[in-house]
Amino acid sequence: MTAALPWLVALAAALASLFSARAVWRRRDLNRWPIAEAVVTASEIVTVRARRAKREHPEPPPCYQARVALVLRVAGRDYPTDNARFDAPPLFRRREQAEAYLADYPEGRRLTVRYRPDDPRCAQFGEAHIPWRRLGLSGFLALMALVALVFVLRG
């Protein structure tokens, strides 16, 4: 069983790296997604607790998530969506920053959004960014798969 463990680690890390890289790869298609008009239906600020080690600060200060809900019309059908379906809603350290962000998305505002052709509920609006964390995770997992494979082949 112990001889199979490095193989399992290599396989699991390689598969996880592929799934993570697939998500990054699909993001490159964003510029090819169709465009539709959407209307802001609601916005809210949600207080979330930041994760920190207890030794740093026993009660971490809250963070504020700015959530925007909207409806987009595709082929005569309405699809409800929000800014959490494609990217995570933006996080802010101060409530005033979240309020300033939401001021750009008042109820009734019309936006141009890009939506995934196979699932219009997955829409992107606002700034598009490269998912560096996901990209880093893919690279780390690929490196771990390589290290486990080298360990197996040298062993």
CA distance 8 to 89: 35
Per-residue model confidence (pLDDT) at position 150: 86
Q: Residue 13: pLDDT above 60?
A: yes
CA distance 91 to 105: 16
Out of 21-30, 93-102, 126-135, pick the least confident: 126-135
CA distance 58 to 69: 34
Q: Residue 141: pLDDT above 80?
A: yes
Q: pLDDT digits over 42-97, tens only?
A: 999 988 876 655 555 567 778 898 899 999 999 889 999 988 777 677 888 899 99
Non-local CB neighbours of 45 within 8 Å, separated by 6+ positions: 64, 65, 66, 67, 95, 98, 99, 102
